[in-house]
Amino acid sequence: MLGFMVIPILDELVALSLKLGDPLADLAILAEGNASAKADDEHFYVKASGYSMRNIGAEGFSKVLFAPILEALNGPDLTDVAVRELLSSSRADPDFYPRPSVETFMHAYLLQLPGVNFIGHTHPTPLISLLSVEGCKEIAAMRLFPDEIVCCGPATAFVPYTDPGLPLARAIKASVEEFALKYEMAPKTIWLQNHGLIAVGKSASDVESATFMAIKAARAWLGALTSGRKLNPLTEENVNRIHTRPDEHYRQELLWAMQRA
């Protein structure tokens, strides 16, 4: 009987980051974007500051303690200097790991959500275009085609433009909590106005699927908006039907399994 090879979490995170950082994908250039994965109940890996996802290796990630980051997220405001000091001191081994990204706070919060083990944050050009359009918050709540629902959920959480770092993490937390009250689930995708995309998932494949389907949706929206014709998004009944159909969930699982193969 053939078994599956167990791939260490950090190796999976590196592979995901390289896919998201591929220049041909147009998701992140230079040191844009970041990614993370839960290592265990007390630690997580997150991209270090200044590294590029197009050629990142294991050395480009820092292992960080959840506790001090989450404590700061729920605590008083911090100066920029205090944030840098906290990020440095929160490393599992300050003498070994590089200083983590300033977006470590949002990764720590999202990785604590039920069923979330991986996160990918990117700056896709088509989506940034859409996120710069008036009414983009309303667009986040709509769906144009079934596969967008399957991979990205019934709607997308939306966060108004906020200063990166701790303020952004707190804004994301507020948006996710509002989303959970309405949909009784955590979002699979989060739109950051004039900034980019966050995709979360149980596996690296979940994050990859949600990311690329969100980009396809952004392109579809841009095409529809520039057509000059009346828009025709799926109705709430359409969305709920697809979101709850067992065969759609089965098809989603097959899609992710094929990506992992």
Predicted local confidence at residue 2, as pLDDT: 43
| Tens of pLDDT, residues 116-161 | 999 999 999 999 999 999 999 999 999 999 999 999 999 999 999 9
Q: How many domains does the chain have?
A: 1
pTM for this entry: 0.90
Report the half-sphere exposure of 63 (CA within 13 A, side-chain side). Answer: 15
| DSSP collapsed to 3 states, 182-242 | HHCCCCCEEEECCCEEEEEECCHHHHHHHHHHHHHHHHHHHHHHHCCCCCCCCCHHHHHHH
Of the pLDDT bands very low, low, confident and very high (cuts 50, 70, 90), residue 246 is low
Residue 164 lies in a domain: yes
What gap in Å lies between CA 78 and CA 166, rounded to an integer? 8
- Strand-pairing partners, residue 192, are 159, 196
What gap in Å lies between CA 70 and CA 65, rounded to an integer? 9
Between 228 and 137, residue with greater pLDDT? 137
Residue 216 lies in a domain: yes
Residue 3 lies in a domain: no
Residue 210 lies in a domain: yes
| Tens of pLDDT, residues 178-194 | 999 999 899 999 999 99
- Pick the closest to residue 207 from 135, 122, 99 (CA basis): 122
Q: Give SS3 for 41.
A: coil
Residue 19 lies in a domain: yes
Q: For the domain that residue 28 is a member of, what is the CATH number?
A: 3.40.225.10
Q: What percent of the chain has pLDDT over 70?
A: 91
Residue 237 lies in a domain: yes
- Pick the closest to residue 208 from 124, 112, 120 (CA basis): 120
> 107: domain range?
9-260
Hey, what's the torsion of the CAs at 196, 38, 153, 260, to 10 degrees?
100
